[in-house]
Structure formats: structure tokens, C-alpha cells
Amino acid sequence: MLRTRIAVSVAAAAAGLAVLTACSGAETASQPVVAPAAAGGTGGGQAANGQVGNAAPASNEGKLVVADVADLGQVLTDQNGMTLYRFDKDTAKPPKSNCDGDCAKAWPPMLATGDVQVQGVDKNLVGKVTRSDGTEQITVGGWALYRYAKDTKPGDATGQGVSGAWYAANAKGGKSGQAAAGGTESGAVKLSASNIDGLGEAIVDQNGMTLYLFTKDTKKKASACNGDCAKTWPPVLSKGKVELQGIDSKLLGSIKRQDGTEQVTVGGWPVYNFSKDLKPGDANGMGVNGTWFVIEPNGCKVGTTPSTAANQAPAANSNTGSSNDTSGGTGTTY
């Protein structure tokens, strides 16, 4: 998948540097750790609709997990780590699957054979829809979920974009990857200033999810969060044009990550989501381990500037959001 590097002019960078000096926080060198494995290619395949029953396997069904898949960010997977997809020709209101027969052989539906378990997914968004053959298929946000027959191992996402109708599903049932940015051009990222209860102004992404900075990163140079860390704190990647609302364009930049992807920076800080934030307005990552902080529209961590210091929430969430990453062999806790 093509990624467009963010162009920042020399003049703009110089102007942004003046803003950076207003932020506090130590800068440390990045640590060499294992980068996440890349996802599979962009495989082909054509969906066909028939009138007979589906050919989906029925064993070991019924668990939804949010996982990080390279190039796509966070997507829904099954209990075996296989990417789950949604079909644009289905409907969510009311939920209905329009993939049967040969289509269901290429895209086996994820069937519900009992209670659906979730990990990182809002249980209230999970449901079931009765298929044409009488089986029940799991839905998230009303959208029926499927696997792709050409995905052979966890992390594969070769069904992304097939026939212009199949996309990896995110934790809300929406489209991940190049189709995830609602209201912006394909592949775009949108960063906006938004008010977070108890914290004041913060940066959110195109889905309204809170963004964070990591004080162990090196500003404008490198990310120290890779491997398992990046699964807990998915980096905001630049897959195209970055749109800004309420944020000075002089603060926008990018860095290259260990896996070759481009990560968006604001005020020189690489920005991240937090996997345990489940809905817009959540800020469960604030203060985790004393190194993760919600980022303000001026590129500083929340509470650094006088305008937000009075509203800064205590770092009480640090006991609920920590994750251990030992991929670098150092036992570092993120």
C-alpha cells in the first residue's frame, strides 16, 4: 500500500521549532526492538453471490479480538489472530448478509455457536444476524464479519480492498486502513483539536479517538515504541494527506519507523492511539507508567501549558492501561 511522506518546508519547520520549546519532558534515544511483522499482500479474488448455504467452518467460533495489523492499524481478528472483514454489499441497519454460495466459500462467515467473547471490543456493539441457511453470523456495529480464504496466517490481510467492497473491520464495525478515514479522501488521516472531559483540549483522530505522546521517544527522530508496545499503542501512520483542524500546520511532520512506515508527528512528537480506549472521549492512557500522555494541539503533553495544567486529570489510569513489552530483551514496561 502506498504511503505518501508528509512534506514539511524548512521555513515551516523553523517556525514550529519555536513552539516546541514551550513543551517540557525529557528526550531519550530510541531503543532497538523488534518491529511488527508486515501483513500479507493485496491478493485478488472476486466475490460472487449465490443462493445456497455457506461453507464456513463451525468449530472454535465466537471470540473477537482487537489486534494491530501492519499497514491497517487496529482491526478485528478471531481467536486465532485471523483478520476479519466486512462487505459493502451487506447492510448494518438492519443487519443482513448478502454473501452466500460461492461468495461464502471465498469469504467464510464468522458463525456464532454460543456466547461471543470479546477482547478490546465494546460488548454492546456485538450482535448476530440469521443467514439464509439458518446459521447465525456475528456482527459488530451491525456489520456481519467474515474471514478470507486466501489469508493463510495471523497478520495476513490480503482481502483488503478486494473488488472494492471488502475491508478489514475495526473495533466498531467500520472499515480499517485506507477506507477508515470517514469524511476524508482515501488513505487520509485527520487530526483535530477536541475537548476531553477533565483534561481540556487534546488532539483526536478522524474517529474521535484520543492521541498520545511517549516521553521515551526522541522528538523529530525516532519512535521507541515497537513490537508488542506498538500493539498496545498503535502509531498513527501517514497513508496519504494529513488534514488538520484547530492545529497549526507548522507543527506537522513525520518520522520513519523501524518497519519502514511513516508515523505522524505533532510538535516533533510521534503520535499514538491507545488500544484500551474504546470510544471517543476515552483517555485511559493518560499518565500510564509516567511516560504516556494525551497530546495537546500545540504539540505538548496535557498539563504542560498553563491553559491546561489546571484541568489535568490525575494519572490514576496508570494501573489500568499498562502493558509489558519485552521484545527488545530489556523487560521495559510501556
Tens digits of residue pLDDT in 80-139: 999 999 998 999 989 999 999 999 999 999 999 888 999 999 999 999 999 999 999 999
- Is residue 326 a part of any domain in this protein? no
Specify the pLDDT at position 69.
Answer: 84
Q: Which of 179, 195, 221 is the last residue of a domain?
A: 179
Query: Could you tell me if 173 and 202 lie in one domain?
Result: no
Q: In total, how many domains does the chain have? A: 2
Specify the pLDDT at position 241.
Answer: 83
Query: Could you tell me if 24 and 111 lie in one domain?
Result: no
Query: Could you tell me if 243 and 291 lie in one domain?
Result: yes
> Quick check: pTM over 0.95?
no
List the beta strands (DSSP E) in 73-163.
73-77, 85-87, 91-92, 95-96, 117-119, 126-130, 136-140, 143-144
Q: Indicate the residue type of 157.
A: A
Give the structural domain span for 271.
Answer: 10-29+181-319
Q: Which of 179, 199, 234 is the last residue of a domain?
A: 179
Query: Could you tell me if 245 and 119 lie in one domain?
Result: no
Ranges in the chain, pLDDT < 50: 1-21, 25-60, 178-187, 308-333
**18, 44, 64, 121, 157 from 161: Cα distances, Å:** 42, 9, 21, 23, 10
Q: How far apart are CA 306 and CA 309, in angstroms?
A: 5
Specify the pLDDT at position 10.
Answer: 41
